[in-house]
């Protein structure tokens, strides 16, 4: 048989989880491959990159899409279980679950709608006029957006202490903080008047950046930023970075644009994008190199 696409796997996957128990992704892949009658050859078939079995990849994406729609939920790393919404869907005995079916759920629609309008406006559209390079770029950006969303959800599930450590690791990867040891000692120690820590702006320590790291779900408003700005003034500091797993209100953005202190706001989405840019908390599973004919080589033939 042909290996089913990820949408065809959605219903069998949800039915497998109908017992309400916690399931591991690895166990699920093996169970579904048996239920769907895949041959050993089909189980061993790899993606073009050669880094992952095709069926494993498709089961993973089926799980991700149903998580975004609220039919499944993560219980811990690599494990999931069905939600009440997922059970309600099965009670309706759908003949098929696919992306079109999942669009009835607002969370899934939001997941498929890019939050940053700038990226949406500049992203090449997949249409008949698109070049192969444009199609690759569009597919790459879609994968990046999906990974960014998954990464942020993972961060929100971590402890506050781990989040502080993550902030340290990111700033060091970006070139701040001097040595890793120096940066680690600076974060999460002071708690002084709205300042969570300090970090060197460069390896020589010519200037200091004051930090505030908030692992929040609620929107960070202007009062929190004003408190941070006041703490900076109390330290005669010129620069600060406020990092959160949520987002900032319009009033907060407006406030930092009007004050003398230089405060950089990093919301959850920006945090995830920076982690992707600096390869923190992610791993490369495939690399594709686009090539063209080297005209210079053939010059003078």
- In this prediction, residue 207 carries a pLDDT of 75
Share of the chain above pLDDT 90, in %: 45
CB 217 within 8 Å of CB 234 = no
183 has a pLDDT exceeding 70 = no
- 154 vs 50, higher pLDDT: 154
- pLDDT tens sequence across 228-251: 998 888 878 778 899 999 999 999
If phi > 0 it is left, if psi is from -120 to 50 it is alpha, else beta; for residue 179 that is beta
Q: How far apart are CA 209 and CA 211, in angstroms?
A: 7
- 224 vs 191, higher pLDDT: 224
Q: How far apart are CA 277 and CA 170, in angstroms?
A: 10
- φ and ψ of 246, to 5 deg: -100, -130
CB atoms closer than 10 angstroms to residue 233: 13
- 4 vs 293, higher pLDDT: 4
CA distances (Å), origin 131, targets 136, 256, 295: 9, 42, 21
What domains are defined for the chain? 1-113 (1.10.10.10), 160-277 (3.40.1350.10)
Share of the chain above pLDDT 70, in %: 83
Among 55, 79, 56, CA closest to 67: 79
Residues sharing a CB contact under 8 Å with residue 247, sequence separation 6 or more, in sequence order? 219, 220, 267, 268, 269
- pLDDT tens sequence across 1-46: 689 999 999 999 999 999 999 999 999 999 999 999 999 999 989 8
- In this prediction, residue 124 carries a pLDDT of 45
Q: How far apart are CA 26 and CA 113, in angstroms?
A: 29
- In this prediction, residue 197 carries a pLDDT of 73
Average pLDDT over residues 205-209: 73
Average pLDDT over residues 268-281: 94
**Confidence band, pLDDT 50/70/90 cuts, at residue 219:** very high
- In this prediction, residue 181 carries a pLDDT of 64
Q: How far apart are CA 120 and CA 156, in angstroms?
A: 25
Tell me what the pLDDT averaged over the chain comes to: 84
DSSP 10-34: HHHHHHHGGG---EEHHHHHHHHHH
Query: Terminus-to-terminus CA distance in the chain, angstroms?
Result: 51
* 57-61, 175-179, 283-287: the lowest-pLDDT one: 175-179
CA distances (Å), origin 69, targets 106, 156, 221, 265: 8, 18, 28, 29
Average pLDDT over residues 260-287: 91
Average pLDDT over residues 46-50: 74
Q: How far apart are CA 172 and CA 170, in angstroms?
A: 5
- pLDDT tens sequence across 96-151: 999 999 999 999 998 877 554 444 444 444 454 565 666 787 788 888 888 998 89
């Amino acid at each position: 048989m042909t290996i089913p696409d990820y949408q065809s796997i959605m219903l069998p996957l949800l039915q497998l989880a109908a017992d309400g128990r916690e399931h591991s992704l690895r166990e699920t892949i093996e169970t579904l491959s048996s239920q769907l009658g895949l041959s050993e050859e089909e189980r061993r078939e790899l993606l073009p990159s050669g880094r992952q079995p095709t069926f494993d990849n498709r089961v993973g994406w089926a799980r991700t899409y149903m998580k975004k729609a609220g039919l499944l939920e993560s219980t811990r790393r690599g494990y999931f279980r069905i939600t009440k919404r997922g059970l309600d869907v099965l009670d309706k005995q759908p003949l098929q679950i696919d992306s079109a079916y999942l669009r009835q759920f607002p969370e899934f629609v939001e997941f498929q709608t890019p939050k940053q309008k700038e990226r949406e406006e500049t992203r090449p559209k997949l249409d008949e006029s698109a070049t192969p390079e444009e199609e690759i770029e569009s597919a790459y950006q879609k994968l990046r957006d999906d990974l960014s969303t998954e990464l942020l959800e993972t961060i929100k599930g971590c402890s506050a202490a781990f989040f502080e450590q993550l902030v340290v690791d990111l700033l060091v990867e970006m070139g701040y903080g001097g040595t890793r040891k120096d940066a680690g000692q600076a974060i999460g120690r002071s708690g002084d008047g709205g300042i969570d820590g300090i970090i060197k702006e460069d390896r020589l320590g010519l200037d200091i950046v004051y930090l505030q790291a908030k692992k929040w779900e609620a929107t960070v408003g202007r009062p929190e930023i004003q408190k941070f700005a006041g703490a900076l003034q109390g330290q005669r500091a010129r620069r600060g970075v406020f990092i959160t797993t949520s987002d900032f209100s319009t009033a907060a953005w407006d406030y930092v644009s009007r004050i003398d202190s230089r405060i950089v706001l990093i919301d959850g989405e920006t945090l995830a994008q920076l982690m992707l840019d600096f390869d923190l908390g992610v791993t490369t599973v495939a690399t594709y190199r686009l090539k063209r004919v080297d005209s210079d080589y053939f010059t003078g033939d």
